[in-house]
Amino acid sequence: MQRCLVALVASLVACGPPKPSVTVPAPVGTGATEGTAEPKPTKQGDALAPPQPTLRLPRNFLPTSYAARLVIDPKRDDFDGSIQIAGEVSERSSVIWLHGRKLTIRKAVAQQAGVEVALAVTPKGEDFLEIRAQKPLDPGAWTLAIDYKGELDKLNTAGAFKQIVADQSYVFTQLEALYARRIFPCFDEPDNKVPWKLTLDVPKPLVAVSNTPQTGESQVSDTMKRVEFAQTKPLPSYLVAFGVGPFEIVDAGKTKRGTPVRVITLAKRRAEGAWAAKTSPRLLELLEDWFGSPYPYEKLDLMSIPLTVGFGAMENAGLITFTERLILIDPVKASKEREHRYVVVAAHEIAHQWFGDLVTMKYWDDIWLNEGFANWVESKASAKIDPTYRDDQAELTMRNDALNADAIVSARQIRQPIESTDDILTAFDGITYDKGASVLAMFESYLGADVFQKGVRDHLAKHAYGNATSTDFAQSISQASGKDVDAAFASFLEQAGAPEITATLSCQGGKASVALAQKRYVPPGSPTPPAGKPWIVPVCVVYDKGGGARGEACTLLSAETGTLELPASKTKACPRWMHPNVNGRGYYRSPYTTAQVTALRDEAWPKLSWTERRTLYFDVTDLATSGKLPLATALSFVPKLLAGNDRFTVPPALDFSIWIRDFVPDELLPKYEAWVRTTFGPGARKAGFTPRAKDTLDVEITRLELLHAVAWIGRDPMLVDEAVKLSDKWRDLPQSIRELVLHIAVDAKPEFFEKIRKDVYTEPDRTRRGEMFSALASVRDVERQKQALALVLDPKLDIRETLDIFGNSTTRMNHTVAQQFFREHHEEVMKRVPTDDTAGPLAGLAYIYTWSCAADQRDAIADYVTKTFGKLPGGPRVVKQAIERMDQCIARRKLLEPELRAWLGGIKLPKPTGNAAPQAVNKP
C-alpha cells in the first residue's frame, strides 16, 4: 500500500507458481503471535465457549474458504449480503467468534452433511460477532451460512465506500488493515489465507470488477444483473476487493507471458488512463524478471478511485486501486514528475503481488515484510522504464528519510509488537516503509545483489500462497548466502533507533586502521533512550589509497567498539582522508570532526561518488544543526551540491537553505530573503518558468525547486511579476509549474486570491482543485488566510480536500492563526472529518500545534494536544512523537539562533538593482 501523507501529518522461482488445488487448502497458521495472547477458552459443560476477544480471535474455528454474494447498488447507502464460510471446528464448541463491524445479521445457521444448527449472532464491542450455536458443534468441517446487511460509507474510504463524481455514483473497497469486517462476517486476520469466491448483483448499466476474471453474467431482474467471478487463490481478507460503477476500461494488452492488463477509469476519463496503460505491462514484465517467477494471478486491473484518505494506492491481488490523482494523468499537460510518480507507485504495488499477496506476513507486526520490500524493489523496476529517471539514486533519499523518522526516542521498532488496534493503525509509517527498505538495501550490499536476490526468490518459492515471518525471511537469506544473518537482521528489526558510528582513522607502525564505536543516535531535545543492544551492522569505508586511488574495506561491527584494518596504501603513507559509509548503503549516521569534514570537502570530493557526497552532506547538516559543527561548514557544501545539477543534489541543497529560515530571528528575515535571492537567483532566472519539450525529470524538478526558493521564499520581484502575468491563464499552464504560479499570484494579488477562492467551488478537475486549495492555504496575509481557513467549515466543500489547509501555513504568524482557528472550531471540524484513515491517523492534526517550536508555549501545547488528539485512533503514539519533535525543534532553535545572527550579520550582499524586494505582509 502506498501511503498518502497529507502535509499536516508530519506529511521474486524459476518455475511457475503451482495451480491451486481443487480441494480447499488448510488455513495457514493457528496461533497468535507474541504480544497478542487472548483469554483462555472456558468450557460450558463439555463444549468450548471462548470469552470475548480483545484483539485476536480464538482458533477453535478456522475458515477454509468463503463464498459471498453482495447486492451493490451505488445509489443506495447500504448493501445486502450472504456468505458461506467453510471451516474447521477443532474441538466441540458452543461459541465461535468472527469479526464484524456495523453489520446487521438477519439469519445464521451452521451446516454439516445435511444437518443444520441455528446460530444466534450477537455483536460484541465494535469489531466482534459472538456466534452461539443452538447445540454444540462437534469437531469437523462446518459451513456457516449468514445473511446480513451492511453500510456503504460516504465519508471514510474504508470497507465498502461510496463516492459521487459528476452525478455518477461508484462503490469501491479498501480492506487493509481492519476493514474486511465491515463487508463480510469473517476471520479478519492475515494468517487466515484461503480462497474467496465473490458474486455481485449490480445495476445493469454498471461495470463490476474484482480480484479475479468474470466467469458469468445473468439477469436478476429488469434492473439488476448478477456478475460472478472466479474463485481466488488463497488470500487474506484484507486483499479482497471490488468496484462497481460506470467505469470505462482501457485495454493495455497482454504481457509477454500472456497476462491481460487493464486500466479501469472513472466515467469519461478514458484518455487519462493512457500513461498507466503504456507503462504498467512493462513494469509487470520487469518484476517477473527480477523475482524470477511469473505473475501469480490471472489478470491485472488497475482501478482509479476519486478520493482516498490515508492511502494512495492498494495492492489488492489482481485489482490494484489508486487515487485518481496518481493514475489519471492529463495526456497533454502532465508533468514529468506526475508520470514518474505513477511509475514508482505502480512498481511498488505490482511488487506487492509477490511480496504481500503471494507471500503474506503472518500478522501485522511483520507488515514491513510487505511495505519495506515494495519500497526497496520499486526502483529496480521504475529505473528501467526510463533511464533518465536514474531511480537507483533514490535509495539514498529513502535512507535519509528513514533516518529522520528514526531520530526520535519514541520511534517504533520495525517489528513492533501488536498489543492493540492502535499498534496496527500506526504501523504504516516511515519506519515500516523507508527503514525496512533501507535495512534490506544495506544487507543486499553487504551480501551481494545476486546472492540476496537468490535468497528472495528461494523465500517466495518456499512460502508461495502462504504466510511467513521475519525469521523465515532471514533464514532464506542465510541459506542463500551461507552466512547466518538472523541476529544481524534482528538487531535492526527488534529495537528502535539508528546507530551513530564514529570512525577514527589512525596510523601506527606503517599500518592504517579505523577505530569504530557505535551508540544510538539521539538529537538535542530528546530524552535519554532506554538501554539497548549493539547493532550488528555492516560498515564499509572508502579511503585515500595514495597515488590518486581510492580504497574500500568492510567489517561487521557487532559490539560497541571495533577495529577495521585497512590494506596498505600504494605509497605506504597514512591515508589523508576516510569516508565511513561506501555509497551510503549503511543504515547509520556518522559524526565528523571539523578536520575530517574539511579533508572530505576540499581533498576527497572528486574521489567520492555522488551518493557518498550526499551521505556526507546529510550528516554534516545534522551536525551543524545540533551544535556539533559550525553552520558555515554546512552552508559551504551548498554550492558543491548545486553543481550536481539534478533532482538528487539540487533539492537537498535548497531544502537545507530554506529549512534554516524557520530559525531566523524576525528582524533578520529580510536579509535572509536577500541572501536567498543573491545565492540562488541567477540559477532560477536562467531556468525560468517555461518548460521545454526536451526537459527531463531532472530538469523539471530542479527548475521548480529553484523557482520555489527564489520566487516564493526569496520573493524575487522579477519572478513574482512573471508568475502574476502567467496566472491570467493558469489553467492552461503545464502542470509542472501551475501550482507554484498559483501560490505566488494568490499571495501577491488580493483580487486573484478572491477569484481563486470563489472559483474553487465550481472547479471540476480534482487536481486543479487541490492546487487551488494549496495556494489559498499558503497566503501570507492573515486576513486572507482566515478566509481560506473558513473553507474547511463550508459544507459545500469536501473536508477531505480542504483539511490540508491547516498544514500549509507559510510564516510563524500564519501558524499561530491556523492554531487559533482550529481551537475555536475544533468541534465543527471533528464532526466532519474521516476517522478511519488507513495509514495516516487523524491524531496527526497535533502537528498543527507542535510545529510552533516555541519554548514559552511548550507545556501548554503538549497539554492541549494530549487532551485533544491523544484519545483518537492511533493517538497515544502519534501525539507522543509530535511532542518529542517539538522538543527537538526547541533545542535546535536555541543552538542555531546565535549562529544565524552571526552568519547573517557577517555576510555582505550586493546592492539591489531594479525593483526592491517586497516587504513582508504581517511580519512573522
- Judge whether 349 counts as a catalytic residue: yes
5: helix, coil or strand? coil
pLDDT for 21: 30
pLDDT for 607: 96
Say if residues 88 and 61 touch (Cβ distance below 8 Å): yes
The pairing of strands 300-305 and 319-323 is parallel
pLDDT for 501: 98
Here the cell at position 394 is 533514490
User: Alpha carbon of 781 to those of 727, 809, 864: distances in Å?
Assistant: 19, 11, 26
Q: What is the pTM of this model?
A: 0.93
Question: Hey, what long-range contacts does 278-284 have (CB within 8 A, 24 or more apart)?
Answer: 278/252, 279/342, 279/343, 279/346, 279/385, 280/252, 280/346, 280/350, 281/252, 281/253, 281/254, 281/255, 282/385, 283/343, 283/346, 283/347, 283/350, 283/381, 283/382, 283/385, 284/255, 284/259, 284/350
CA atoms within 13 A on the CB side of 449: 6
Where the chain has pLDDT below 50, the residues are 5-36, 914-924
Chain center to CA of 169:
28
**H or E stretch at 735:** helix 735-748
Q: How far apart are CA 396 and CA 375, in angstroms?
A: 12
516: helix, coil or strand? strand
Nearest residue to 580 via CA among 569, 570, 590, 565: 590
Q: Catalytic residue, from 272, 324, 349, 739: name it.
A: 349
221: exposed, middle or buried (Cβ count in 10 Å: 0-12, 13-18, 19+): exposed
Here the cell at position 890 is 526547541
CA atoms within 13 A on the CB side of 284: 29
Tell me the Cα Rg of the chain: 29
Cα first-last separation, the chain: 39
Beta bridge partners of 647: none
Residue-wise over 149-182: b if at least 16 C-beta within 10 A, else e? ebbbbebbbbbbbbbebeebbbbbbbbbbbbbbb
Model confidence over 209-242: pLDDT tens digits?
999 999 999 999 999 999 999 999 999 999 999 9
Nearest residue to 249 via CA among 277, 227, 228, 230: 277
pLDDT for 570: 57
pLDDT for 852: 86
Positions of E strands within 409-536: 466-468, 499-508, 511-520
The label of the residue with cell 560498515 reads 539
Write the DSSP symbol of residue 15: S
Nearest residue to 631 via CA among 621, 616, 641: 621
859: exposed, middle or buried (Cβ count in 10 Å: 0-12, 13-18, 19+): exposed
Question: Hey, what long-range contacts does 739-744 have (CB within 8 A, 24 or more apart)?
Answer: 739/771, 739/774, 739/775, 740/704, 740/707, 740/708, 740/711, 740/712, 741/689, 742/771, 742/772, 742/774, 742/775, 743/712, 743/774, 743/775, 743/778, 744/711, 744/712, 744/719, 744/720
pLDDT for 42: 66
